Amino acid sequence: MIRIGFAYNQKPEQSALTGNKATAHQKTVDDGELSRLQNEFSATDEFAEWDSRETIDAVAKALAALGEVIRLEADEDFPERLRQARPDIVFNIAEGKNGVNREAHVPAICEFYGIPYSGSDPLTLSLCLDKARTKEALSAHGIPTARFVVAREMSDLPRVSKTLELPLFAKPIHEGSSKGITERNFCRTTDELEAQVKFLLEHYAQPVIVEEYLPGAEFTCAVLGNGKTAKVLPIVGMNFAALPEGALPIYGFEAKWVWDRPDRPLEMFECPAGIDLALTRAIERVTLDAYRVLGCRDWSRIDVRLDAGGAPNVVEVNPLPGILPDPADNSCFPKAARVAGISYDELIQSCLRLAATRQGVPIGRRLKKVQTVSKAASPPRAARSRDHDGPAAEESVSNRLTA
């Protein structure tokens, strides 16, 4: 029976924003209140991309059906605990903490020790966290994406105005989970652009990417698989009609933290998206092109938005997709999997099996105990099992995707 290392970052249990989310319910928030909420969030959103205990426990449970799970929290002691544990393979969902290459840290350390792992490699993870370099790679391969300019300082704004056409959308270059994204990022005038770029440069201490705004519908595409066998799960459409009247069609800070409340949840996602077959195929093509060009492996989530002519454009690529286990939560990848007939446990197991097959790691079925490697102890090394039923299990999921 194999030993599965499980690498993750667990977010603090309480968010300072929880109380505000429950009380800030009006359609619009005045500038002072929005600034207060956004400033408070930016002071605490260091852990926004990390996973909750609920998600971590759900993933560990799913993995335990395939082998012995060793929890390895990706903190400063992770390299030594990984070296001590030396699992047969690592299932990685760790987003990292420090620097622009933070999402690449766990796989890079795994490579250093020669330990197989799930998901994309360090280069792809670092590339996709940099929105500008992602778009440069896409553009070089002819994959549609909105025109953009990077503003590293305020003196770059004249170049933005000369190169791009209003309206524009500005956002931090190295963030996810809607960090730094509000309705104010939509800039109709050069004055609005100047004010928002100044705000983002000051609050996030990183370059700002400014893009020509894509006015069409938005979709999220979950991809499962590798190479020519990679498949797009049922497409998730953004239901901007669920936003308060007059709100901009943007799934950002307000939609996630102000308007979406436990007592009044937003029905933001439609899966499968209500679009015709021709558009579905066009979105799938551009999604898979981006997935392959950027070197994504096993799974990723790719955001797509239509331009004024109705053509799909890639907005962002996330090789570490959100995987909240509760069907009531707005988590697109598990939602798409459920529509495809894939349970949460099967989704997690499929990703691990895909990674294991790529690297020749055998996987069994028997349930094993979940353990946590302490910082003081090293578990005994277990012999590798020769059971290998990965391809058969992958074929079962594949059949459901193509049925």
Check whether residue 125 and residue 243 sit in a common domain: yes
Instruction: Please tell me the predicted confidence (pLDDT) of residue 236.
Output: 97
Name residue, tokens 């002691």. 77
Amino acid at 83: R
Check whether residue 129 and residue 181 sit in a common domain: no
Check whether residue 206 and residue 320 sit in a common domain: no
Check whether residue 87 and residue 129 sit in a common domain: yes
Check whether residue 110 and residue 164 sit in a common domain: no
Alpha carbons 40 and 17: distance in angstroms, whole number: 7
Instruction: Please tell me the predicted confidence (pLDDT) of residue 388.
Output: 35
> Domains in the chain: how many in total?
2
Check whether residue 202 and residue 248 sit in a common domain: no
Check whether residue 151 and residue 102 sit in a common domain: no
Give, in order, the Cα–Cα distances in Å from 342 to each of 60, 235, 348, 397. 17, 14, 10, 7
Domain boundary (213, 237, 262) is at: 213
Question: pLDDT 10s digit of each residue in the chain, 403 long?
Answer: 899 999 999 987 654 444 444 343 344 555 555 555 555 555 445 666 777 899 999 999 999 999 999 999 999 999 999 999 999 999 999 988 888 999 999 999 999 999 999 999 999 999 999 999 999 999 999 999 999 999 999 999 999 999 999 999 999 999 876 677 888 999 999 999 999 999 999 998 999 999 999 999 999 999 999 999 999 999 999 999 999 888 899 888 788 777 877 677 788 899 999 999 999 999 999 999 999 999 999 999 999 999 999 999 999 999 999 999 998 887 899 999 999 999 999 999 999 999 999 999 998 654 344 444 444 443 333 333 333 334 444 555 655 665 5
Alpha carbons 206 and 201: distance in angstroms, whole number: 6
Domain that holds residue 344: 3-146+214-402
Instruction: Please tell me the predicted confidence (pLDDT) of residue 18.
Output: 43
Which H or E element spans position 148? Answer: strand 148-151
Check whether residue 115 and residue 167 sit in a common domain: no
Instruction: Report whether 88 contacts 391 (CB < 8 A).
Output: no
Task: Supply the DSSP string of 354-377, one letter for each residue.
Answer: HHHHHHT---------EEE--SS-
Alpha carbons 11 and 54: distance in angstroms, whole number: 11
Instruction: Please tell me the predicted confidence (pLDDT) of residue 134.
Output: 97
Domain boundary (167, 194, 213) is at: 213
The phi and psi torsions of 239 (rounded to 5 degrees) equal: -95, 80
Check whether residue 30 and residue 138 sit in a common domain: yes
Cα Rg, the chain, nearest whole Å: 21
**CATH number of the domain to which 171 belongs:** 3.30.1490.20
Alpha carbons 269 and 240: distance in angstroms, whole number: 9
Alpha carbons 163 and 150: distance in angstroms, whole number: 11
Domain boundary (192, 213, 234) is at: 213
Amino acid at 187: C
Check whether residue 154 and residue 53 sit in a common domain: no
Instruction: Report whether 97 contacts 9 (CB < 8 A).
Output: yes
Check whether residue 247 and residue 107 sit in a common domain: yes
Which among 152, 149, 120, 157 is positioned nearest to 132, based on CA atoms?
149
Q: What 3-state DSSP class applies to 123?
A: helix
Check whether residue 95 and residue 45 sit in a common domain: yes
**CATH number of the domain to which 67 belongs:** 3.30.470.20
